[in-house]
Amino acid sequence: MPSRESYVVRRGKKQTGRRAEKEASQKGSLFTAALMPAPSKPTSPASTFWQPIRSFALSQLTSLVRRATLRESDLAPKYEKVHNFKVHTFRGPHWCEYCANFMWGLIAQGVKCADCGLNVHKQCSKVVPNDCQPDLRHVKKVYSCDLTTLVKAHNTKRPMVVDMCIQEIEARGLQSEGLYRISGFSELIEDVKLAFDRDGEKADISSSAYEDINIITGALKLYFRELPIPIITYDAYPRFIEAAKITDAEKRLESIHEALKLLPPAHCESLRYLMAHLKRVTQCEKENLMSSENLGIVFGPTLMRAPDLDAMTALNDIRYQRLVVETLITNEDVLF
């Protein structure tokens, strides 16, 4: 026969369970009431009480929906970029946007960022953070524009030229014999360049506008050649050349992997995308006759430029440039 103590314990558990169910029911009704639309009747004390809770709940749901529907461009990485300051003569009174002090003088009172328009003293420009946010009003062209400046101005992961040209090439040109090796007409390649500078992402590079795929490949190579800072930057260039000189394949791969870490994020992402594309080109080698070695010969001098080296040294570096690009293509899935 159960004891009085066990009966008390069971009764206590039942009461605790009922209390928990009641509290849960109350919380559920609170949340339901919070999400219910406001009554059309005159405002009462109860509706006044629920209004802040309802507004908060709806704002949270709206935030969740907004985050869930973000486009890829909105998720673009926040690349760091230094300001492109140039000496500037301001008309009328101007104040430094960093220290908030007046800019004295009649000419060359300070410097102005050519990419975002920030106005500061010359001495203040040395301590301004690397937080340049390029404005499309100042970035007026696509070709010959700094790569990081372009992607920040358009809020994209990679330059539009790279994305659009590669997508067009893969849609209709992967099996074209001599892809990237055969050049298109230079006048038409200049037309593509002008179209990007004028129309940006609205430029028409479809087959109806340029039937020859070699014009699109030429425009892509021209973009990389005209970068003021190569995609493999001047600072990282020596490390890549040193890595290419290593005879042991495994150690060379490891050294190139370390050299990639020296590239700015926008450069590294664009290089990764290009190498993945070139690897897909090599998978159609039977049709286009373009191996990783052949593509290395084409893209070596395009992606890498020697920083202020004499002609003989630059000439000797060509074979190492080819080897770097060939290694990047072959081991794209490992290096990036």
CA-angle at 304, arms to 129 and 277, nearest 5°: 95
Contacts of 183 (CB under 8 A, 6+ apart): 214, 218
Q: Is the dihedral of CA 268, 269, 271, 276 positive or negative?
A: positive
Q: What angle do CA 167, 172, 174 make, to 5 degrees?
A: 85
Q: What is the dihedral of CA 249, 255, 259, 260, to 10 degrees?
A: 60
Q: Could you read off the pLDDT tens digit of each residue along the chain, which spans 336 residues?
A: 444 444 444 445 445 555 555 454 544 443 344 344 444 445 555 555 555 555 544 444 433 333 333 333 344 456 677 888 888 888 888 888 878 788 888 788 888 888 778 888 888 888 888 777 777 777 788 999 999 999 988 889 999 999 999 999 999 999 999 999 999 999 999 999 999 999 999 999 999 999 999 999 999 999 999 999 999 999 999 999 999 999 999 999 999 999 999 999 999 999 999 999 999 999 999 999 999 999 999 999 999 998 877 778 888 899 999 999 999 999 999 999
pTM above 0.75, yes or no: no
